């Protein structure tokens, strides 16, 4: 009985931790999506801007070939018409990296579409 209880407790703990981790990951993903909508979407969803388009991996490949460090560097200091940090004043380096990963991959179901902000 005691052993069963211990096993139950361990299982519960594992489940709780999994939920916590999954919940944490989900929250991080949601925050990345929110940042994308707020700061990136306006240019990275409009081809005419010349910016690499979100969820079009081919657009990102030449950039990422230079390495994540260089891509991050360009985001931080700005390049061409892209302003420093993409105007995201709340973004950390980790946030920017997550945004690059998010935009440079194929759009997942449930992600925000390329609709324009404020329209």
Partner 1 sequence: MDFSRINLNRRNVLKAAGMAVAAGSAWAETSEAQAQPSERKSPPLKRRVLPWSNWSGNQECLPSVRQVPRSEEQLIDIVKNTTTQVRFVGSSHSFSALVPTEGTLISLAALRGVESVDPQSGDAEIWGGTRLAQIGDPLWEQGRALINMPDINTQTLAGAVATSTHGTGVKLGSMSSEVSQLRLVTAQGEVIECSEDRETDIFQAARTHLGALGAVSKIRLRTRPRYYTQERSWMMPLEEGLERAAQLRDKHRHFDMYALPHGDYILGITIDEVELPTASKVDTDAEEHERSNSESAFRTVAKITDYLPFLRSPIINYAASRVEPEQRVGRSYEVFGNLRDMRFNEMEYSVPAEQGPACLKEILETIKRQDIDVIFPIEYRYIKADDIWLSPFYQQNACAISCHNFHDRDYKKYFAAVEPIFWNYGGRPHPGKIHTLGAAQLSRVYPKWNEFLAVRKELDPTGKFLNPFMKKIFGLA
Residues 6 or more apart whose CB falls under 8 angstroms from that of 95 comprise: 31, 32, 35, 88
Question: Phi and psi for 91 in degrees, rounded to 5?
Answer: -75, 135
Contact residues toward partner 1 (CB under 8 A) are 38, 42-43, 46-50, 66, 69-70, 72-74, 76-81, 83-85, 87-93, 116-119
Under DSSP, is residue 82 helix (H, G, I), strand (E, B) or coil?
strand
As measured in angstroms, the least distance from the Cβ of 14 to partner 1 is 30
Cβ of residue 109: shortest distance to partner 1, in angstroms? 24
Dihedral sign computed on CA atoms, order 71, 79, 42, 47: negative
* Min dist. Cβ of residue 19 to partner 1 (A): 23
Question: How far does Cα 54 stand from its chain's mean position?
Answer: 11
User: What is the distance between the alpha carbons of residues 6 and 24, in angstroms, rounded to a whole number?
Assistant: 26
**Nearer to partner 1 among residue 88 and residue 103 (C-beta):** 88
Least distance between partner 1 and beta carbon 26 (Å) = 18
């Amino acid at each position: 009985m005691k052993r069963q209880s211990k096993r139950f407790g361990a299982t519960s703990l594992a489940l709780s931790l999994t939920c916590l981790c999954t919940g944490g990951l989900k929250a991080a993903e949601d925050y990345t999506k929110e940042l994308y909508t707020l700061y990136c979407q306006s240019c990275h969803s409009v081809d005419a801007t010349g910016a690499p388009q979100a969820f079009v991996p081919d657009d990102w490949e030449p950039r990422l070939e230079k390495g994540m460090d260089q891509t991050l560097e360009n985001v931080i200091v700005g390049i061409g018409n892209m302003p420093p940090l993409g105007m995201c004043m709340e973004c950390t380096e980790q946030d920017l990296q997550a945004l690059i990963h998010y935009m440079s991959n194929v759009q997942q179901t449930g992600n925000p579409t390329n609709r324009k902000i404020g329209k």
